[in-house]
Amino acid sequence: MKILIVDDEQDVEIMFLQKFRKEIKSKQLEVDFAFSGEQALEMLGQSGSPNVVYVFSDINMPGMNGLDLLATIKSRFPHILVSMISAYGDQENYNRAINSGAKEFFTKPVDFESLRNEIAELLTDQ
């Protein structure tokens, strides 16, 4: 299963690779990274029909924010599941994300056990 992590903080890549190294090594999981909403859409659009099944995106990013990215993904690639993360667990961001079709909403710091459970659920659905 291929997932895409979208966050303007590039150190997130190292953290995700460490936390999911077992799943990556066993080839259960393939992880790509985009450092902006625009880059994420470019990556998703490259294959015409993307093989990414799950996007995990930060909300607060320069340029296109995560909520705009979510809306674009849901309109262009409705089969891709998207979860959002924010340093601010405010109700407004939560409501906008869920009402726009987000599968889940996480707050920073990431609870990797919850995220691992969500990804494991996706793996069993495949």
Side by side, the strands of the sheet bearing 81-86 are 30-34, 2-6, 52-58, 81-86, 104-107
Q: What tokens were used for 29?
A: 């999981």
90 falls within a domain: yes
Does the global pTM surpass 0.85?
Answer: yes
User: Tens digits of per-residue pLDDT, 58-84?
Assistant: 999 999 999 999 999 999 999 999 999
46 falls within a domain: yes
Say what the pLDDT of residue 56 is.
96
62 falls within a domain: yes
Splitting the chain (126 residues) into consecutive groups of 10 residues, what average pLDDT does each group show?
Answer: 94 93 93 96 77 94 96 94 89 93 91 88 76
The domain tally of the chain equals: 1
Say what the pLDDT of residue 76 is.
93
What kind and span of H or E run contains 89? none
Residue 12: which domain range? 2-111
Identify the CATH number of the domain in which residue 66 sits.
3.40.50.2300
Q: Say which amino acid occupies 80.
A: I
